[in-house]
Amino acid sequence: MASELIDISLPVSSASVVWPSAPKPQVTRRLSMDRGDAVNDSDLFMNVHTGTHIDAPVHHLNRKGGADSVPLEAMIGEAWVIDVSKFKSVDVEALERAWPARPVSRVLLKTRNSELWDRGHAEFVTDYAALTENTGEWLIARGIRLVGIDYLSIQRFSDPPTIHRVLLAAGVVVLEGLNLSDVAPGRYELFCLPLKLVDADGAPARAALRRLS
């Protein structure tokens, strides 16, 4: 029997944690059956990097591909969740210690950030765990097609966007805003389906895992 899917997406609401410069999501009920309309119908307003989302190449590489250009094949398939929660930041040493002893094409980083989601934290923090600048080439050299992390950015808050640019320029999919608090390290099947937003610099996504033996 197929194992149960694990939803690793963040809920989106007016209470969502967002990047300091981004607006909170808003869902406005435009038509309401309580007011006598035939249906309930709502408008959604939010930044494309809200909650669980992918970064498109154009987010950090001007005039490059939008969210609609990111291949689905890169976002569906075998993925490894690795536990780097003991490290303040995820550097090459942290990756080497946690890296599986077999080829990996998609990796999801379970850091100390997942404890924040587990506690239900409601405010953005700037000291979240993220990749250091020198990890991009290391990941590319190992054939990574997708890297995901359990906060709103793979890059540390005070760092320049080097890690984003290196990965996106190499065609690596950047998946951010995961909740891995209920996920044990190991081998999984990843299902990540972002909205097909034409020319957008990012896209909200629903992401789930299925445990593989």
The residues annotated as belonging to the active site are 59
139 Cβ neighbours under 8 A, 6+ residues apart: 95, 107, 147, 167, 172
Q: What are phi and psi of 165, to 5 degrees?
A: -65, -40
Cβ proximity of 12 and 204 under 8 Å: yes
User: Does residue 85 sit in helix, strand or coil?
Assistant: coil
Nearest alpha carbon to residue 104 among 70, 84, 81: 81
CA–CA distance, 77 with 29 (Å, rounded to integer): 37
Cβ proximity of 25 and 16 under 8 Å: yes
